[in-house]
Chain A
Amino acid sequence: MIAAAVTFGFAAIGLAVLLNLYRLVLGPGMPDRILALDTMVINAIALIMLYGIAQETTVYFEAALLFAMVGFVSTVAFCKFILRGDIIE
């Protein structure tokens, strides 16, 4: 049952990443693209966790944690650049 659920999860999250890619390519403005990238990072974390369950190993948790941190910092940095024209003033 878990294997079927993980397969379903891979399919759904993969489709979600494709939808994010659509918005990333077509998004009319910069904030849309930043939002699409941020959502992509969150979906990538979900994919990493699903892969960890499928492989029955815990080594990928650190990667997911790093993804969470780096994704948040990069989103804030992009927005800061749009807002102020500079990241560290």
Chain B
Amino acid sequence: MDFLAEAVVAFLIVVGSIFGLVGSYGLAKLPDTMMRLHAPTKATTLGVGSILIASMAYFLFYENLFSVHELLITLFLFIAAPLTANVIAKAHLHENQVDPKQLPAPEPQASGQTPGWSTFDPEAERQDVR
């Protein structure tokens, strides 16, 4: 039992740190911003989730202490990661002004209006809000 608990915690720590390293390596290595967005928001979040589970298991096995803090951190990180990816992708699209004519045309809605493509709102572009 004792050996099993130790093996589980050590395995989770090693797997988590390898995932974190792979995510950061992808951030440094991949050639394009949109590609670079994938590595940290997926691999690194998974890695830190594994380390948090390892910490939870450690304090459960060795100190008989069930701590909810790790669950809170995991929940928060897993909610935050997709939102972060979304806002960074939007910022990237705005930084590198893509020609809206080259993008696929959005379908008209049931209300009859044609929406803008992602962050490129046709109304906002006309008024030059940016």
Cβ of A13: which chain B residues have Cβ within 8 Å of it? 17, 20-21
Q: How far is the CB of B101 from chain A (nearest CB, A)?
A: 21
Q: How far is the CB of B114 from chain A (nearest CB, A)?
A: 22
Contact residues of A: prevailing secondary structure: helix
A-B residue pair count with CB separations less than 8 angstroms: 167
Assess the B6–A2 pair: CB atoms within 8 A.
Answer: yes
Chain B residues within 8 Å of chain A by Cβ, number: 55
A16: CB under 8 A from chain B? yes
Q: How far is the CB of A38 from chain B (nearest CB, A)?
A: 6
Interface residue range, chain A? 35 or more
B87: contacting residue among A62, A71, A80, CB under 8 A: A80
Assess the B40–A39 pair: CB atoms within 8 A.
Answer: yes
Counting chain A CB atoms within 10 Å of each CB, which of B18, B20, B89 scores highest?
B20
* B-facing residues in A29-72 (Cβ within 8 Å): 29-32, 34-36, 38-39, 42-43, 45-46, 49-50, 52-53, 56, 58, 61-62, 64-65, 68-69, 71-72
